[in-house]
Structure 1
Amino acid sequence: MKSPLSAITAALLLAVAGLSQASDKITIMVGGIEKQIYLPAKLAEQLGYLKETGLDIELLSEPAGVNAETEMLSGAAQGVIGFYDHTIDLQARGKSVQSVVQFSQAPGEVILVSKAAAGSVKSPADFKGRTLGVTGLGSSTNFLTLYLAAKSGIKSTEFTTLPVGAGSTFIAAMSQGKIEAGMTTEPTISRLVHTGAASILVDLRSPKETEKALGGTYPAACLYMESAWVNAHKPQVQKLANAFVKTLRYIRTHSAKEIADKMPADYYASDKQMYIAALESSKAMFTDDGVMPANGPATVLGVLNAFDKSVQGKSVNLANTYTTEFVKAAK
């Protein structure tokens, strides 16, 4: 018969083991997991690459990247799959965060204008007095909308940005006249253009179009994490990098149809062929190997400096906003 002391010791050991297992779980928040710009997240899971790491990885979704960022900063998640520009904005606010795998080299987004407003909104110079949809205030869609307006001489106080999410909520906001234009992603873009409810005003889906609109390569979707967590968990970060680099290689070497066949059916929004066509036209936004484009960070800083008061006048060390250590060592 075990003594009471032995029973207590055994119970304590089990509790410690349970806590250890819980601490091994890695939660990654995605700023809208169904968006094609964040395709590598769900695709890595669907292909079994996340499971191959041996880590307990959970992918959760928030409608906007700024919400996902908040979850990470609060400690509810260890990483975010969102836009690289948040790492610069956060550094300017005193937070050390870095991209560890760079998924894309273009935003993969467009500004759509509603059918009703198409006759009067011909460029960002016409944003004055308008209500524009973004995924969330402080999100990358908000950042880029503010930049395009500022570039055309329109101040942020001269128009309104309304957080409407993406997918059905964005479509509803436009159809109900709550927004006259807005920035969104695939497959929302194709759903609205296909029905004639909206047309493309500014296209940021390819590196070429992005360079024309933003002045250079614009690294966008990535896996970013707090620098302190990265430095304390390098083996885990390396395994994550291995999985996502392998996924990016899969995207590069497979057709849009082959990729779509791996995705959950509800991601197609009832039109798989439209999903495939949208992916085929925007696959070029993804990097081949997860490495940060050499001239990309400077472009992003230049964009944020045009309107972001949190960044303006601050000394930002771009070298601390990303690392290529893990992707270059990826198997």
Structure 2
Amino acid sequence: MRKNNGDIVTMPHAVTRVARALHAAVAASLTIFLLAQPAAPARADSPEKIVIMVGGITKLIYLPARLTEQLGYFKAEGLDVELQSQPAGVDAENELLAGGVQAVVGFYDHAIDLQAKGKEIKAIVVFGQVPGEVEMVAARAAGSIRSMADVKGKTLGVTGLGSSTNFLTQYLASLKGVPRSQYTVLPVGADNSFIAAIRQGRIDAGMTTEPTVSQLLKSGDARVLVDMRNVEGTRAALGGTYPASSLYVQSAWLDTHPQEAAKLARALVKTLRYLNTHSAEEIAAQMPKDYIGNDEALYVSALKASLPMFTADGKMPADGPETVLKVLAGFNPSVKGRHIDLSRTFTNQFVNEVKP
């Protein structure tokens, strides 16, 4: 401070210490106040990510998964969904059980098989009322394999060991009196790897889906042995409808995520309705180019052959679970003779809530 004569006088040290102490106290109080404030709440528009593993995403039996994404129905429900793919349903199932994904698009029969092994999963949307699978016989073997009764000593292709194609192959052979010990099962995957296995002579026959079926028929490399792409063919082969492609989750996840399950059901049922009200050409126009490939006419033809398999509402067919249980109990040692509570393998609760 200054005296009247202009000389400078320094502030006493005591006053300086008081000022510094006051400044420090204020700073400390402000810090404590800020730390005591609650953290900002998470944004309501940031949904939990749901990863769905598809057992072969380009297979037409699983078309609703990618079509739902293409149509924007997941986003319309406020869902953050990531679709991933494994070549076989059993691989997708393993990802679910390991906790790597929240849901699977695969065959319903896994729910029965796993319950017999002490694990609980539940189908919440059923896509296909029939398998959509076709047993194809290589053209070079067509003369010696005219039915599943002729597969003794042959090598049969499946997508993977423990897969639904493996289940169905064993059942169809057993119906014709051919036990598992009398033929060889070879996992060959799907799509191009299946076609290669036929062309290279590594398998005599095998089970696959569209569009692989149409590709093999067009090239002349294989012929249809058992056709389960529609209700009539499935009933002839298996004795009833066989609910197959579906969205399933672990029961424990479902108990804690009912809202997410309801949103998934709404999105997928909208897609099933779309499939039942639009032409194959209109549906194909919604799909990415890498799905359709270079032969759009072939893809559309395969799609037309596949459309009858899809449900219109995502509900479990009334006779479906019993048929699937009968098939699995016919050869699967994990299921045969075991009590299976079918009511724990699926629920129509969420699809029933979807408005017309």
TM-score, scaled to structure 1: 0.94
Structure 1 residues 226-274: Cα deviation after superposition (integer angstroms, max 9, x where no partner) = 1111111001100000000000000000000000000111112321111
Of 286, 293, 312, the residue aligned with 2:336 is 312
Given that 1:187 and 1:268 are in contact with CA atoms closer than 8 Å, whether structure 2 keeps it comes out as: no
The answer to whether residue 81 in structure 2 is matched with residue 46 in structure 1 is no
Given that 1:256 and 1:276 are in contact with CA atoms closer than 8 Å, whether structure 2 keeps it comes out as: yes
Partner of 1:70: 94
Aligned-pair CA distance for 1:5: 7.8
Aligned-pair CA distance for 1:313: 1.4
Alignment of 1:210-225 (within 5 A): 210-225=234-249
**Cα distance in structure 1, aligned partners of 2:72 and 2:36:** 39
The answer to whether residue 189 in structure 2 is matched with residue 165 in structure 1 is yes
SS of 1:157's equivalent in the other structure is helix
SS of 2:111's equivalent in the other structure is helix
Pick closer, same or farther for the CA change 1:185–1:6 going to 2, 3 Å: farther
The answer to whether residue 114 in structure 2 is matched with residue 90 in structure 1 is yes
**Cα distance in structure 1, aligned partners of 2:35 and 2:56:** 45
Partner of 2:174: 150
The answer to whether residue 279 in structure 2 is matched with residue 255 in structure 1 is yes
Aligned-pair CA distance for 1:120: 0.5
Aligned-pair CA distance for 1:9: 8.7
**Cα distance in structure 2, aligned partners of 1:209 and 1:7:** 70
Partner of 2:49: 25
Aligned-pair CA distance for 1:45: 0.2
Aligned-pair CA distance for 1:51: 1.0
Alignment of 1:264-279 (within 5 A): 264-279=288-303
Pick closer, same or farther for the CA change 1:313–1:173 going to 2, 3 Å: same
The answer to whether residue 345 in structure 2 is matched with residue 321 in structure 1 is yes
Any unmatched runs of 5+ in structure 1?
A: none
Aligned-pair CA distance for 1:40: 0.3
Q: Which region of structure 1 is more displaced relative to structure 2, 52-61 or 64-73?
A: 52-61
**Cα distance in structure 1, aligned partners of 2:278 and 2:98:** 38
Partner of 1:201: 225
Partner of 1:139: 163
SS of 1:162's equivalent in the other structure is strand
Partner of 1:57: 81
Any unmatched runs of 5+ in structure 2?
A: 1-26
**Cα distance in structure 2, aligned partners of 1:75 and 1:13:** 29
The list of structure 1 runs, each at least 4 consecutive aligned residues, that deviate by more than 4 angstroms after superposition, is: 1-10
Letter paired with 1:302 = K
Aligned-pair CA distance for 1:157: 1.2
Letter paired with 1:296 = G
Instruction: Give the count of matched residue pairs.
Output: 327
Letter paired with 1:177 = G
Of 205, 208, 222, the residue aligned with 1:184 is 208
Aligned-pair CA distance for 1:279: 1.1
TM-score, scaled to structure 2: 0.88
**Cα distance in structure 1, aligned partners of 2:36 and 2:169:** 59
**Cα distance in structure 2, aligned partners of 1:168 and 1:255:** 26
**Cα distance in structure 2, aligned partners of 1:13 and 1:56:** 24
Partner of 2:257: 233
SS of 1:262's equivalent in the other structure is coil
Of 265, 282, 288, the residue aligned with 2:312 is 288
Structure 1 residues 89-148: Cα deviation after superposition (integer angstroms, max 9, x where no partner) = 011111111110010101011000011111111111111111111111111011000000
Partner of 2:105: 81
**Cα distance in structure 2, aligned partners of 1:6 and 1:167:** 63
SS of 1:259's equivalent in the other structure is helix
SS of 1:116's equivalent in the other structure is helix
Partner of 2:135: 111
Aligned-pair CA distance for 1:7: 9.2
